[in-house]
Structure 1
Amino acid sequence: MDDEVVEKVITLLYMFWEARNALVFDSKELQLPRVIERMEALHSLPKPVVVVRSAREEHATWRRPTPGWIKVNFDASVRHSVAGFGLIARDEEGEVLASATLAPVMRQPAGLTEALCLQWAMRITIDLGFRAVCFETNSLQLFQWWRRRSRGSSYLDLVIFDCRSLSVSFDSMDVSFIRRSGNSVADFLARGAFSFLV
């Protein structure tokens, strides 16, 4: 089978598993057309573009975190008037510890949407009890804003300030930048969040 068929089969199996859990734990009736619709909705989303970059540019593939740290990749995706968030947390072996999506979130300017996504990712990570965390984003604007450490009075400033307040909940915490091609899983989860609106 070609890659697209394999992707659809795997996604369909996941949708059946999700529907099964809804039946067992929430007593929701299994609706086959709904399962198929959600699978098709995920595959109608635009595929991420893989960009080939020179070795001199900042790394464009996901890298394992420092031993003892958890790396949390997060991303926001905007469609029409709402945004979807996605995150994935992995350890030094590359093992997935957690993943999450959130939609809908009212659409905001791009930089603010990414900052709200960081805030959401930090709160989830705190709830999970991770102590040493590197948050990784493909938003250069957010990364630069975080590094600047200035304090203003805009809503974006307040969100970043709240993120800095949340950072004291960790033993160690950092925010790093990665090219979009290295953040593809978080991007996929953020875009996949819209399937819950079908």
Structure 2
Amino acid sequence: MQTRLQQSKLEEVSMILRGLWTRRNMMIFERKFESPRKVLTAAMTSLQNFQGARAALNQLKGPNVQTRKDTKWKPTDEGVSKVNFDAAIDKNNYKLGLGIVARNHVGEVLFTLSSSKLFSGNSDMAKAAALWRAMELVLELDVRMVVFEGDSDRVIKGVTDVGGNYAWMEQQYANIRGRMLLRLDWSVSFIHRKGNCVAMH
């Protein structure tokens, strides 16, 4: 599909497949059966929310948008999956948009997630929430050997710097570090748009 479909269609297919997987799990574990129309509608709504959040993020970043477009995805070592996470805030409507995509070492998409929810906070809280949700998803799907990659220097430092002073964000960072300690096959890395990187194992 990656070689035959346009990006917009590939995004639609990814969201529909995610919806079908969720529908299957609901049937098995909760004995609930969603109609195909409801699955399709939910998938398209989630995709629209993600696209809206992405557009809002690009507007917020202004001159940095071109830098983001010029940044190329870098493959991981064989057997390692990379999970990219991002978040955008719609301050006018008090909403948070989350975007997550996982790829294997050859760049094949393993799974994606986009969601939105009511939110009142700053960008650090939003990025930390995206990282937390990415970790939940990896646990849910039982993916092993994972690098979580994000572009928020402050959040990655908050997660990796145990002795840092991050005041009211410290509890959130401590929760993420606690989850990392239980999974030695996970790491978190910051991707600087000029190529610098900070990592935690």
Flag the 1:79–1:96 CA change in 2: closer, same or farther, 3 A.
same
Instruction: Give 1:158 deviation, angstroms.
Output: 0.7
Q: Superposed, which structure 2 residues align to 1:93-104 within 5 Å?
A: 93-104=106-117
CA distance in 1, matches of 2:193, 2:120: 20
Q: Superposed, which structure 2 residues align to 1:42-121 within 5 Å?
A: 46=55, 48=58, 49-51=65-67, 60-80=71-91, 81-121=94-134
Secondary structure of 2:55 counterpart: coil
Q: Superposed, which structure 2 residues align to 1:7-18 within 5 Å?
A: 10=9, 14=13
Paired residue type of 2:34? D
Secondary structure of 1:171 counterpart: coil
> 2:171 — aligned with what?
158
> 1:196 — aligned with what?
none
Instruction: Give 1:168 deviation, angstroms.
Output: 3.0
Secondary structure of 1:26 counterpart: coil
Instruction: Give 1:176 deviation, angstroms.
Output: 1.0
Flag the 1:61–1:13 CA change in 2: closer, same or farther, 3 A.
closer
Contact 1:65 1:71 in 2 (8 A): yes
Secondary structure of 2:66 counterpart: coil
CA distance in 2, matches of 1:79, 1:138: 19
Instruction: Give 1:117 deviation, angstroms.
Output: 1.4
My pick for the range that moved more, 34-43 or 78-87, is 34-43
Paired residue type of 1:139? S
Which ranges of structure 1 fall in alignment gaps of 5 or more residues? Answer: 1-5, 54-58, 183-198
> 1:3 — aligned with what?
none
CA distance in 2, matches of 1:35, 1:118: 22
Q: Can you list the C-alpha shifts for 1:89-148, whole angstroms capped at 9, x where unaligned? A: 111111111111221141311112211211111111112112211110011111222232
Contact 2:12 2:43 in 1 (8 A): no
What RMSD in Å do the two structures reach over aligned CA positions? 4.1
> 2:150 — aligned with what?
137
Instruction: Give 1:72 deviation, angstroms.
Output: 0.5
Instruction: Give 1:39 deviation, angstroms.
Output: 8.1
> 2:27 — aligned with what?
none
Could you state the TM-score of these two structures normalised by the residue count of structure 1? Answer: 0.65
Contact 1:123 1:166 in 2 (8 A): no
Instruction: Give 1:154 deviation, angstroms.
Output: 3.9
Contact 1:15 1:38 in 2 (8 A): no
Instruction: Give 1:171 deviation, angstroms.
Output: 3.3
> 2:199 — aligned with what?
none
Contact 2:96 2:116 in 1 (8 A): yes
- How many positions carry a matched residue from both structures? 169
Which ranges of structure 2 fall in alignment gaps of 5 or more residues? Answer: 1-5, 21-32, 59-64, 196-201
Could you state the TM-score of these two structures normalised by the residue count of structure 2? Answer: 0.64
| Greater relative CO, 1 or 2 (CA 8 Å, sep 6+) | 1
